[in-house]
Amino acid sequence: MSNSSAETNTNSDQVLHENTLYAEPVFHAGHFPITNSLINSWIVVIFFVIALVWSLKGKIKQVPRGLQNVLEMIFEAFFNIFDSVTGSRKKTLHFAPFVLSFFFFVLINNWMGLLPGVGSIGQIVSEGGHKLFIPYFRGATADLNTTLALASIAVVVSHIMGVIALGWWKYLNKFINFKILLEIPKKIIKDPTIILVNFIKFFVGLIEIVGELAKIASLSFRLFGNIFAGEVLLASMSAIFAFGLPLPFMFLEVIVGLIQALIFSILVLIYLSIATTAEEH
């Protein structure tokens, strides 16, 4: 009896800590759960983005020096890459603020998951007779909710830009092509095959709607999968040997974080460019 009791006490004292697919809630604001990945997102927005913009406010000079010079070189490199996608510096400058916001938000969140304390500082809670360790911070891009929200915003904004650039009727016909259906009665006498051809074109447009939903899935799962897999890899390497062994993998994750942020932003730019280009072009 005493052995069984001792074993129960040992199990109850054991703290479980594992990388979960979902973001753990740290506390609640009313009925709304505040997750560790959401806290990380707030930190990025408040302390990195706003702090950087505020530090540069009023310090832009005609002849760049120091940090301004470095930033201008970085932005010029981005603009050159974007030009190869849009084919126009005017379009690049139009889309750049939106696309670069995605890039820096994703990049900083990717790298924040590698900082000391992220994933290792937290609280212990009791659940189902077990003690669980809940970290206060988690890389936001390692949470599918965050990447799904980013992808949804990118795709929705691309459609809004498309409507503004082409007009609602012309843009609607890229997906639900009423125009080619209205052409059938006018041309059927001269060309009876137009019925088959135009109906095929009509259904191709409907397939494009499915493609738009696939864009959201592709963007969100690609980013989430790469960043979450990296966190699991680093945790595994640290469990095997904490000193020295994780360092090469951390360097690899720094490169992966940069590449994934660049891929995400370039894909967003491609979607914007396609949406604002007339179908015949």
- Asked if residue 280 has pLDDT above 70, the reply is no
pLDDT recorded at residue 156: 94
**Segment 170-193, tens digit of pLDDT:** 888 788 777 777 776 777 767 777
Lowest mean pLDDT among 2-16, 204-218, 242-256, 267-281: 2-16
pLDDT recorded at residue 240: 72
Q: How confident is the model at residue 279 (pLDDT cuts 50, 70, 90)?
A: low
pLDDT recorded at residue 232: 79
pTM of the model: 0.81
- Asked if residue 6 has pLDDT above 50, the reply is no
pLDDT recorded at residue 14: 65
pLDDT recorded at residue 82: 93
DSSP result, the chain: -HHHHHHHHHHHHPEE----SSPPEEEEETTEEEEHHHHHHHHIIIIIIIHHHHHHTT---SS--THHHHHHHHHHHHHHHHHHHHS-HHHHHHHHHHHHHHHHHHHHHHHHTTSTTTTTSEEEEEETTEEEEEES---GGGSHHHHHHHHHHHHHHHHHHHHHHH-HHHHHTTTS-HHHHHHHHHHTTT-TTHHHHHHHHHHHHHHHHHHHHHHHHHHHHHHHHHHHHHHHHHHHHHHH-SSSTHHHHHHHHHHHHHHHHHHHHHHHHHHHHHHTS-TT-
pLDDT recorded at residue 59: 66
Lowest mean pLDDT among 103-112, 222-231, 233-242: 233-242
**Segment 115-127, tens digit of pLDDT:** 777 767 777 776 6
Please state, rounded to an integer, the average pLDDT across all residues of the chain: 80
pLDDT recorded at residue 10: 46
